[in-house]
């Protein structure tokens, strides 16, 4: 498959090249020049995620050096359950639980897949590969876990000081070895800016081989589409109807993966994004005026993004605002509404939600009766035990911690504090 830059379609790359580079030479993001076309009949009746993933990803890997390893990659990366849980309501609502991986968040899918690909691509290189990643909470921990102790690869994680949950910070800083964790004096947008500046700086590129594990890397997006493939097929086989999704959204990588799955031909209907009080995207969908702004801290901290990178991909796919709003919609949720929804989901549905998933639940309640007559899937992006300081006081009880998460929380912290400047990042890289 041929990939192009969102900013210049004459800048092309194979999938492997795009995985290694992370970002196009002109600062654009890689996207397919054309999307493959698949139908329900192209997929096995197996419910196993690796089986559906291999069918979906095969056209993207066609003629690529990694094509022969695709089966091994998906089985290695997707080795944990992805339950689609029906909620006990009169309406057809399910919860897609994406938090059963090693760091209890949906980022495990993309991080483990990318690490499996990169390890194979880098085997013949004599240079150390540096994975540079900005995180608003969950990405950094998942990337660190996926790449930890892989030979010839180091990871540098940038996160905003004081703007991730305490447990998220423990996951970001517990690794050591080939993982450097940096607490940046700024916001997530500052961290993301530093990553882009490092890629664009010729002195950095001259001394080290860089790649990214943020959702700016297409190797994060393609595997995330796979759980939408699997869940939409399961819904279609059960109901004969399209699956409609509500996706907690920040940097837009997760929802973009869903948009791509729909574009390929999966049985997917409405796509609704749930945001916190960072309203950059919801205001754009309402007005057609794109105005990035500084992010603000909320209870749904992993979604605290004021200038989401993947809007560039969404707007490349749908250059006209009217075309975009026919494909996706979005609504914002306040901290007070997050708290109330966590309590009501526990009381009425016997479901414990993280603050991000609570945004999806709140947005569902605002849908019209006609919309709610269709099958809906709330995307549960993280385990609630990652946010005990928010969830436990609301429910009045402690939350059980998954064993994999408990192990990480028991490890000592190793962190470097730095200002939000490229010179400071260069010093860390040196």
Cα 117 to chain centroid, rounded: 17
Q: How many CB atoms lie within 10 A of CB 152?
A: 16
In a domain, 198, yes or no: no
Q: Give the CATH number of the domain where residue 319 resides.
A: 3.40.50.1100
Burial 283-319 (b: 16+ CB within 10 A, else e): bbbeeeeeeeeebebbbbbbbbbbbbbbbbbbbbbbe
Q: Average pLDDT of 78-101?
A: 95
* Residue 111 within a domain: no
- CB contact at 8 A, 68 and 57: no
Q: Decide if 407 is inside a domain.
A: no
The verdict on residue 350 lying in a domain is yes
Q: What is the mean pLDDT of the chain?
A: 94
Q: Could you tell me if residue 197 is inside a domain?
A: no
- 393: burial class by Cβ within 10 Å (0-12, 13-18, 19+)? exposed
Residues spanned by the domain of 248? 80-105+220-402
Whether 98 is covered by a domain: the verdict is yes
How far apart, in whole angstroms, are the C-alpha atoms of residue 154 and residue 430? 12
Confidence of residue 58 (pLDDT cuts 50, 70, 90): very high
Please report which residue ranges of 269-373 form alpha helices under DSSP H: 280-287, 311-317, 321-327, 335-349, 355-365
- Looking at 176-180, 211-215, 222-226, 303-307, which range is the least confident one? 211-215
Please give the tally of structural domains in the chain.
1
Residue 1 has pLDDT above 70, yes or no: yes
Q: How confident is the model at residue 124 (pLDDT cuts 50, 70, 90)?
A: low
Is it the case that residue 188 has pLDDT exceeding 90?
no
The single-letter DSSP state of residue 364 is H
Asked whether residue 257 carries a pLDDT value surpassing 70, the answer given is yes
* C-alpha closest to that of 199 among 20, 31, 33: 20
Report yes or no on 12 lying in a domain.
no
Q: Is residue 377 part of a domain?
A: yes
- What digits encode the pLDDT tens for the residues 59-81? 999 999 999 999 999 999 999 99
CA 300 to chain centre: 14
Burial class (CB in 10 A: 0-12, 13-18, 19+), 67: middle
Full strand arrangement of the beta sheet holding 153-160: 209-212, 129-134, 153-160, 179-185, 416-419
pLDDT digit string, tens, across residues 337-373: 999 999 999 999 999 999 999 999 999 999 999 999 9
């Amino acid at each position: 498959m041929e990939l192009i830059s969102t900013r210049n379609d004459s800048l092309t790359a194979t999938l492997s090249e795009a995985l290694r580079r992370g970002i196009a030479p002109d600062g654009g993001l890689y996207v397919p020049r054309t999307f493959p076309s698949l139908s329900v009949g192209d997929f096995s009746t197996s419910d196993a995620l690796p089986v559906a993933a291999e069918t979906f990803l095969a056209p993207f890997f066609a003629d690529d050096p990694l094509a022969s390893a695709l089966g091994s990659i998906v089985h290695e990366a997707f080795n944990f359950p992805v339950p689609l849980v029906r909620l006990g309501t009169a309406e057809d609502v399910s919860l897609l639980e994406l938090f059963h991986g090693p760091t209890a968040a949906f980022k495990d899918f993309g991080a483990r897949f990318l690490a499996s690909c990169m390890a194979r691509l880098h085997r013949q290189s004599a240079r150390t590969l540096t994975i540079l990643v900005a995180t608003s909470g969950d990405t950094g921990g998942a990337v660190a876990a996926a790449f930890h102790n892989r030979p010839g690869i180091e990871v540098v994680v940038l996160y905003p000081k004081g703007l991730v949950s305490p447990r998220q910070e423990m996951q970001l800083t517990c690794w050591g070895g080939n993982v450097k964790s940096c607490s940046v004096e700024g916001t997530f947008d500052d961290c993301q800016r530093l990553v882009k500046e490092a890629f664009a700086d010729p002195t950095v590129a001259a001394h080290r081989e860089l790649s990214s594990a943020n959702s700016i890397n297409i190797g994060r997006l393609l595997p995330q589409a796979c759980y939408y493939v699997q869940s939409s097929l399961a819904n279609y086989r059960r109901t004969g109807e399209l699956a409609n999704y509500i996706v907690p959204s920040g940097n837009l990588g997760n929802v973009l993966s869903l948009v791509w799955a729909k574009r390929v031909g999966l049985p997917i209907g409405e796509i609704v994004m749930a945001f916190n009080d960072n309203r950059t995207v919801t205001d754009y969908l309402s007005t057609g005026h794109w105005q990035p702004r500084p992010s603000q801290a909320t209870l749904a901290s992993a979604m605290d993004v004021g200038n989401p990178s993947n809007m560039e991909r969404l707007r490349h796919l749908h250059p006209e605002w009217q075309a975009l709003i026919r494909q996706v919609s979005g609504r914002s949720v306040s901290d007070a509404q997050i708290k109330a929804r966590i309590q009501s989901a526990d009381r009425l549905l016997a479901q414990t939600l993280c603050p991000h998933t609570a945004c999806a639940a709140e947005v569902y309640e605002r849908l019209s009766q006609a919309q709610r007559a269709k099958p809906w899937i709330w995307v549960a992006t993280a385990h609630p035990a990652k946010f005990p300081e928010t969830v436990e006081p609301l429910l009045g009880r402690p939350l059980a911690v998954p064993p994999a998460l408990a192990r990480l929380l028991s490890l000592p912290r190793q962190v470097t504090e730095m200002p939000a400047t490229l010179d400071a990042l260069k010093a860390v890289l040196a």
